[in-house]
């Protein structure tokens, strides 16, 4: 266990929770820490490509989940007071007002800073996501991979 490694399981695709996750990840990376984010379940939405990718072998239900789940950081909603998408729009206005980074920029910055992006393979299997639908250059791991990383880190959050 060293103090220069952090892991975050990003389970949620709520705009506000994802923002918290990326702010912590980017802050730690800026301070020289190794950071790994495990995108699991709804969190997979953060690493979806923004436009539809043709895939084979999905069941009808998997297609349906895929259609209903947001594609990428630009489509997320707030965990509270979202009001069908109005809340998140107003929140984005508030963020621009103080020159806070957008969700898209937070994700891009994380990649630039070398934060390791890992997609949970079981979530992908269940929800039917294919590698080509997700950001290029990410890693793919199951729970054993997560635990191996967490054992080397001193801060492990579930968001």
Binding residues (CB under 8 A) for its own copies: these are 1, 3, 9, 11, 13, 16-17, 19-20, 23-24, 26-28, 31, 33, 40-42, 59, 61-62, 64-65, 68-69, 79-81, 90-91, 93-95, 97-98, 100, 122, 125-128, 142-144, 146-147, 150-151, 154-159
Alpha carbon separation from 36 to 27, 29, 51, 133 (Å, rounded): 13, 10, 25, 20
Choose between 131 and 136: whose C-beta lies nearer to its own copies.
131
CB of 85 to its own copies, least distance (A): 14
Residue 140 to residue 122: CA distance in whole angstroms: 10
DSSP 8-state symbol, 50: S
Min separation Cβ 52 and its own copies, Å: 19
Contact assessment for residue 153 and residue 24, using Cβ atoms and an 8 Å cutoff: no
> Which residues does residue 6 pair with via DSSP β-bridges, in sequence order?
35, 155
Least distance CB 149 / its own copies (angstroms): 10
């Amino acid at each position: 266990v060293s103090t220069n490694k952090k892991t975050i399981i990003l389970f949620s695709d709520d705009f506000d929770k994802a923002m918290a996750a990326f702010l912590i990840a980017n802050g730690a990376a800026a301070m020289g820490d190794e950071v790994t984010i495990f995108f699991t379940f709804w969190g997979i939405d953060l690493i979806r490509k923004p436009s539809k990718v043709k895939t084979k072998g999905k069941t009808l239900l998997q297609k349906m989940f895929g259609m209903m789940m947001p594609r990428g950081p630009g489509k997320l909603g707030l965990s509270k007071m979202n009001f069908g998408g109005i809340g998140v729009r107003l929140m984005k206005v508030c963020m621009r007002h103080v020159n806070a980074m957008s969700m898209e920029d937070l994700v891009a910055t994380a990649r630039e800073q070398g934060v390791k992006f890992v997609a949970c393979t079981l979530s992908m299997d269940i929800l039917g996501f294919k590698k080509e639908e997700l950001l290029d250059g990410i890693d793919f791991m199951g729970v054993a991979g997560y635990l191996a990383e967490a054992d080397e880190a001193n801060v492990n959050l579930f968001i």
